Amino acid sequence: MLDDILRSRRDTRHFTDEPVPDEVLEKALRAGHMAPTVGLTDATQYYVIKNKEVKQEIKKLFQKYNQKASDLIENETQRDAYTALKLEAIVDAPLGLVVGYDRSVLNTFTIGTIASNDTIRFSAVCAVQNIWLSLTEQGYGMGWVSILDHYQFKKLIALPEEVEPLGYFCIGKPATDYGHQPMLQQQGWKQKSAAPTVTEVKKVNRSTYPAFEQSLNKPIENELLEEQIQLIIDRKTKPAGALGILETLALQMGKVFKTTSPEIKHPHLVVFAADHGIAQHGVSAYPQEVTGQMVKNFTEGGAAINVFCKQHSISLNIVDAGVNYDFPPNLPIINHKMGRGTRSFLHGPAMSADQVQTCLFKGSEVTNSLFRAGCNTIGFGEMGISNTSTAAVLMSLLCKYPIEQCTGKGTGVAGENLDKKLLILNQAIQNYTGSREPLAIMAHFGGFEILQIAGAMLQAKQNDMLLLVDGFISTVAFLCAYKMEPKVKSNAVFCHLSDETGHRLLLQYLDAQPLLQLKMRLGEGTGCAIAYPLLKSATSFLNEMASFDSAGISDKDQ
């Protein structure tokens, strides 16, 4: 009997107008409630929709994303088949159902979530399957609509901020049996495989990434070289110090590149992206899905960093350090995924000590690959919803500042939501009873992208590369690198003062002078790209500007 139900279950898209009896829905929802629920949290929530106006508005949201889906289908035959599908179920089905999960259950420790916060979402998926099977057994069908703007969908149906929807489900009496096969197969989209793919694992794979090793025991800096560069700067046809910070940059670049004629070669900007478990507690104005969406935007050339890199001929690289999304392998993304985001650090560690070492190693690999290709200047950007929360706690503990001085609005959190963010971060710090050593703090509160950036920065120092530091998040990544090896600072250029709370204080802690102050707080490495022309100006005046001797001009000493 169960086998028959499993075989006949369909993702239904065609419905009659026959109403769904209350007792049918009640039985199905009871079946959903019987599904496994991690830690007995009862986090799964249900919202029933019968109103036609609400359905019409949901359909409008669907149509926007549906067109995007159609545009991404490269095969013309498949695209035609897709656009020919009947997609009126949102309106035609007599009943709509939203299944979601309440992430506020994570505000207290939940057994079964220590390895992954996604388990509360997986529980909701189990409930969906139970509902589907119950409806099928009762002679009804259900269709899953997942092509929706998550953020707008929540606003449209006024979901509580802490409830995340899996999607919109259409429920009703099926108008067809689809020839006893999946609808997409009936429509000629593709054939479902006849049997499951099963592979037996016969042995333990013990391959691991080597631990990150710092090798900065280099000879003492060449003081004679510094004197030579400074003399060249001072002999240019200008008053001493008249070019201000550009003179400081020129001297620094000459020392980093170990030459009196420094040149920027094959500049790259690398954006490291990852998700953070602390996002489950509502510390950001945007849902976690935005991280993956923005990474795809980077690959399509639509983000601010794409524009600025193109403007200044800087090569852009994207690293998936741990995004909670599976990107297709054919996208131009470096896959250094450590997992689908860190764990929440509210009640336990975000990652293990081994993961910290692996992050550092993977970051160093990125730098080395660019260095081998001829790059000597590398900028660092980041993307990750809630990474301002992670960065604020790291700054607070590593610099020993109150969390209130380190925490800002991030993606736009303000008012009561900012108070809530501070409350959660304070609680996380109070819950921490571990070592106060930097690496232990990084393991408990760190982010995959932040620590990969730290490893990449340390390797840039090792390779005598110039490293460009963006805003608040990237500066916290630099702070992590600096705590491991203070010498890394000699290679760092701090590109701008972010408008994010805490950045000014952090730069003061590092005794670092930012090049620009533009009230920016976007991240992505945008500050690096915008400051880049100043670096070019520094090398240009050093290498091309006439000296008093070459121009035959008397200076003040003559």
List the pLDDT tens digit at each of the 558 positions of the chain.
888 888 888 888 889 999 999 999 999 999 999 998 888 888 999 999 999 999 999 998 888 777 777 777 777 877 776 776 656 789 999 999 999 998 888 777 778 776 666 788 899 999 999 999 999 999 999 999 887 776 678 889 999 878 889 889 999 999 888 877 777 777 666 777 888 888 888 887 776 656 677 665 555 567 789 999 999 999 999 999 999 999 999 999 999 999 999 999 999 999 999 999 999 888 887 888 899 999 999 999 999 999 999 999 999 999 999 999 878 778 899 989 988 899 899 988 999 898 999 999 999 999 999 999 999 999 999 999 999 999 999 999 999 999 999 998 666 677 788 888 999 999 999 999 999 999 999 999 999 999 999 999 999 999 999 999 999 999 999 999 999 999 999 999 999 999 888 999 999 999 999 999 999 989 999 999 999 999 999 999 999 999 877 766 666 655
DSSP string, 135-183: HHHTT-EEEEE--S-HHHHHHHTT--TTEEEEEEEEEE-BS--TTTS-H
DSSP string, 346-368: SSS-SS-HHHHHHHHHHHHHHHH
Catalytic residue annotation: 524
Query: Across the strands, what pairs with 269?
Result: 316, 379
Termini Cα distance of the chain: 104
CA-to-CA separations, 183 to 13, 135, 136, 345, in angstroms, rounded: 8, 17, 15, 43
Rounded to the nearest 10 degrees, what angle do helices 22-33 and 119-137 cross at? 140
SS (H, E, C) 292-333: HHHHHHHHCCCCHHHHHHHHCCCEEEEEEEECCCCCCCCCCC
Whether residue 345 contacts residue 356, with contact meaning beta carbons closer than 8 Å, is answered with no
Whether residue 267 contacts residue 377, with contact meaning beta carbons closer than 8 Å, is answered with yes
Q: Which helix (H) or strand (E) holds 125?
A: helix 119-137
Token pair for 81: 């088949």
DSSP string, 455-487: HHHHHHHHTT-EEEE-SHHHHHHHHHHHHH-GG
The span from the CA of 360 to the CA of 206, in Å, is 20
The span from the CA of 517 to the CA of 495, in Å, is 9
Instruction: Write down the pLDDT at residue 173.
Output: 95
The span from the CA of 105 to the CA of 21, in Å, is 32
Instruction: Write down the pLDDT at residue 326.
Output: 78
Q: Name the E strands within 8-75.
A: 44-49
The span from the CA of 183 to the CA of 176, in Å, is 10
Whether residue 128 contacts residue 166, with contact meaning beta carbons closer than 8 Å, is answered with yes
The span from the CA of 11 to the CA of 8, in Å, is 10
The span from the CA of 546 to the CA of 541, in Å, is 8
How many helices (H) and strands (E) the chain has is answered by 22, 10
* Class of residue 551 by CB neighbours under 10 A (exposed 0-12, middle 13-18, buried 19+): exposed
**DSSP 8-state secondary structure symbol assigned to residue 104:** G
Grouping H, G, I as helix, E, B as strand and the rest as coil, residue 83 is: helix
| Strand bridging mode 95-102 / 163-172 | antiparallel
Instruction: Write down the pLDDT at residue 518.
Output: 95
Query: Across the strands, what pairs with 97?
Result: 48, 169
Token pair for 131: 């509902």
**CB neighbours (10 Å) of residue 425?**
25
Instruction: Write down the pLDDT at residue 84.
Output: 65
Token pair for 244: 């201000």
Amino acid at 136: T
Q: What are phi and psi of 166, to 5 degrees?
A: -80, -30
Q: Name the E strands within 179-222.
A: none
Q: CA 375, 380, 518: angle at the middle one, nearest 5?
A: 120
Instruction: Write down the pLDDT at residue 182.
Output: 77
Q: Of 300, 192, 269, 215, which Cα lies nearest the Cα of 526? A: 269
Contacts 24+ apart (CB under 8 A), 288-291: 288/324, 288/341, 288/385, 288/386, 289/150, 289/325, 290/151, 290/385, 291/323, 291/324, 291/325, 291/383, 291/384, 291/385
The span from the CA of 338 to the CA of 381, in Å, is 18
Instruction: Write down the pLDDT at residue 377.
Output: 98
